[in-house]
A and B are shown apart, each in its own frame.
Chain A
Amino acid sequence: MRARGMWPRHAALLVVCAIMLVPFYWVVKTSLTGENIYAYPPRLLPQAPHLFNYVDVWYLIPFPRYLLNSVIVSLLAVGGNIVLNALAAYALTRAFPGRRWVVLLLLSCMLIPFQATIIPAYLITARLGLLNSWLGLALPMLSTIVCIFVFKAAFEAVPRSLIDAARMDGLGDLRILARVLLPLCKPAIATNVILSFIWSWNNFMWPLIVTRDPLMQTLPLGLARFLSYVEDTTGALYAFVVMVLVPGLAVFLMAQKEFMRGLTAGATKG
């Protein structure tokens, strides 16, 4: 009885999933197709599929360089997020005068979208002499308020007695953080890693503003630049799209539980 009542739901969800997946299929199909992607009518299946568009992307545009830049900036952002957020969150779990104000300050900072501050942010980065540099690309993303609260919630869930016992053993704050709290808060670390990775990997506007040198461009910028260079005329553009999407998708699928939890935690805290 129940199972029979379920099939309309399955049908509806299958339609939804088809709509969500078809654009992916269309792009992958185009990236595998040979010379003329403009032939009408387009074929639903790739004709004589081959992978050479991907080889073209690798060699004919500085893809390895874009990849290197993206990876370095993402690593900086991920590393910065783990260290800085863990430190800040640990501090916030302790009682200190003005704690309420710091929390309030962080919460109100969350309301300031980064896009609302791009012009002075650019000018500040220029004053610091960090335009066209990896550090300049990563600096605004080194710490994220959402992720601080993810860590804070995880630290608060650790039994107080454990921390007190560690303190009795003479461990300092840094040791308590590194040896006791972080090993117990692996899901929070995973959330931090995946959120900061996805955000910095996908970030477009900030790199667009602070890099003028083509050698310092990250993958999204390279993609936009390639688009303006070849327009929509070659299957290689779509191969580029797929190559850029795959790392993000892979990381997301590896840790989707942590990712979704981080998003909902971050969203509900705001």
Chain B
Amino acid sequence: MYQRTRPVRRLQNRFVLVPLVLAVLVAAWNLYVALHAHGVVAGRVVEADGRPAAGATVILYERDFITQNERGRTTTGPDGGFRFNGNASHLVQLQARQGALRSARVTLRLWFRAQDARLAQPLRLGPG
């Protein structure tokens, strides 16, 4: 006479299932983030003609809505490759410099903080 449905049945409605699905998705996403957040930003620098630029300086800037601050510098290896560790931002800019030559500032937008990322296109040095 008092309503006594089985507990499992009682939980099968949209007010329970939708939050449950959301919770699972959030947990999965957080797991993915935790496994891919080492703060590695890697890429390559090339000369204007496409040859790898060894010994170029690469600067990493952190951006927000108004300001941008330099967060690190590194030098490219013999193959023109570079690698930053410990990037903590989700929105960075990269610029390569060598002597008077410099590349355009490339904005790298990440899906979460410190996401491991690799530049798809190399930074291309050119005159100012």
Q: Which residues of A contact B (CB under 8 A)?
A: 50, 52, 55-56, 59-60, 162, 165-166, 179-180, 183-184, 190, 193, 230, 234, 236, 250, 254-255
* Least Cβ–Cβ distance between B68 and chain A, in angstroms: 12
Q: With the chains together, A52 CA to B90 CA distance in Å?
A: 9
Answer yes or no: B110 CB below 8 A from chain A CBs.
Answer: yes
Total A-B residue contacts, Cβ distance less than 8 Å: 38
Pick the residue among A183, A234, A254 that contacts B15 (CB under 8 A). A254
| Residues of A close to B90: CB separation below 8 A | 55-56, 59
What distance in Å separates the Cβ of A82 from its nearest Cβ neighbour in chain B? 13
Residues on B with C-beta less than 8 A from A183 are 2-3
Instruction: Decide: A255 and B15 in contact? CB cutoff 8 A.
Output: yes
| Among A56, A162, A184, A254, contact of B91 (Cβ-Cβ < 8 Å) | A56
A59 to B14, CA, bound (A): 31
A254-B14, A255-B15 known; A166 and B2 CB under 8 Å? yes
**Distance from B58 Cβ to chain A, minimum over Cβ atoms (Å):** 22
User: CB distance A190 to B15 under 8 Å?
Assistant: yes
Interface SS majority for chain B: loop
A59 and B89 CA atoms in complex are apart in Å by 9
B1 touches A165 (CB 8 A): yes
Q: A162-B1, A230-B65, A255-B15 are in contact. List 14 more A-B contacts (CB 8 A).
A: A52-B109, A55-B110, A59-B91, A60-B64, A60-B65, A60-B91, A166-B2, A179-B2, A183-B2, A183-B3, A234-B65, A250-B18, A254-B15, A254-B18
- Prevailing SS type, chain A contact patch: helix
Write the residues of chain B forming the contact surface with A, with a CB cutoff of 8 angstroms.
Answer: 1-3, 14-15, 18, 64-65, 89-91, 109-113
Return chain A residues, CB-CB under 8 Å to B2.
Answer: 166, 179-180, 183
Are A55 and B112 neighbours in the complex by a CB distance under 8 Å?
Answer: yes
**Which 4 pairs between the two chains have the least Cβ-Cβ distance?**
A183-B3, A52-B109, A60-B64, A179-B2
Is B65 within 8 A of A56, CB to CB? yes
Would A55 and B15 be within 8 Å (CB), given that A165-B1, A234-B65, A236-B65 are in contact?
A: no
A195 to nearest B CB, angstroms?
Answer: 14
Task: Enumerate chain A residues within 8 angstroms of B3, measured Cβ to Cβ.
Answer: 180, 183-184
* Chain A to chain B contacts (Cβ below 8 Å), 8 pairs: A52-B91, A55-B109, A60-B64, A162-B1, A165-B1, A180-B2, A180-B3, A255-B15
CA distance A56 to B14 in the complex (A): 31
Separation of A230 and B2 alpha carbons in the complex (Å): 57
> Which single residue of chain A is at the shortest CB-CB distance from B112?
A55
Shortest Cβ distance from B111 into A: residue = A55
Distance to closest chain A CB from B28 (angstroms)? 17
Cα distance, A56 to B1, chains bound together (Å) = 55
Question: Please, which residues of chain B bring their CB within 8 A of the CB of A190?
Answer: 15
Would B65 and A59 count as touching, CB distance under 8 A? Answer: no
Interface centre among A52, A166, A250 (most CB of B within 10 A): A52
B14 partner residues in chain A, CB cutoff 8 A: 254
Min CB distance A261 to B, Å, is: 16
Residues of chain A within 8 A of B112, CB atoms compared: 55
Which residues of B are found within 8 Å of A236, using beta-carbon distances?
65
